[in-house]
Amino acid sequence: MATLWILILTGAVIAFFWFSRQFAESAKQHAERQAERLQVQLLSVACQKRRLGILRNGKPGIKSQFMFEFSSDGESVYQGVLYLENSHLLKSDIPPHRIG
């Protein structure tokens, strides 16, 4: 019986890691789209927060918050935030930045 629980727990950890990687790739794609739309250079994307929760559609899922850094002039660095539910982008917070 203990072996079964260990296998279930191990499977759950592997599944969480696998889905987390998929959501990280999705966040990178969303950040690249934001950078293209703003005509800025994307520097990096990093996960700030990830947790299990109930999504807006009422189903369980993973809520994530990703920070992305970008530069508009090659010298200054700005940080934006992407809010995702699973791989769906809910909103993005982009700070005021220099255009140029």
Question: What is the per-residue pLDDT across 53-88, written as a single tens digit (0 to 9) for each?
Answer: 899 999 998 899 999 999 988 889 999 999 999 899
Would residue 52 count as lying in a domain?
yes
Would residue 100 count as lying in a domain?
no
Question: What is the per-residue pLDDT across 5-55, written as a single tens digit (0 to 9) for each?
Answer: 999 999 988 988 888 889 999 999 999 999 999 999 999 999 999 998 899
Would residue 98 count as lying in a domain?
no
- Tally of domains in the chain: 1
The pTM for the full model equals: 0.83
Would residue 47 count as lying in a domain?
yes
Would residue 53 count as lying in a domain?
yes
Residue-number span of the structural domain to which 39 is assigned: 1-93
Separation in Å, CA 65 to CA 1, 39, 56, 91: 37, 22, 15, 10
CATH code, 22: 3.10.450
Would residue 4 count as lying in a domain?
yes
Would residue 15 count as lying in a domain?
yes
> What ranges in the chain are assigned the alpha helix state H?
2-38
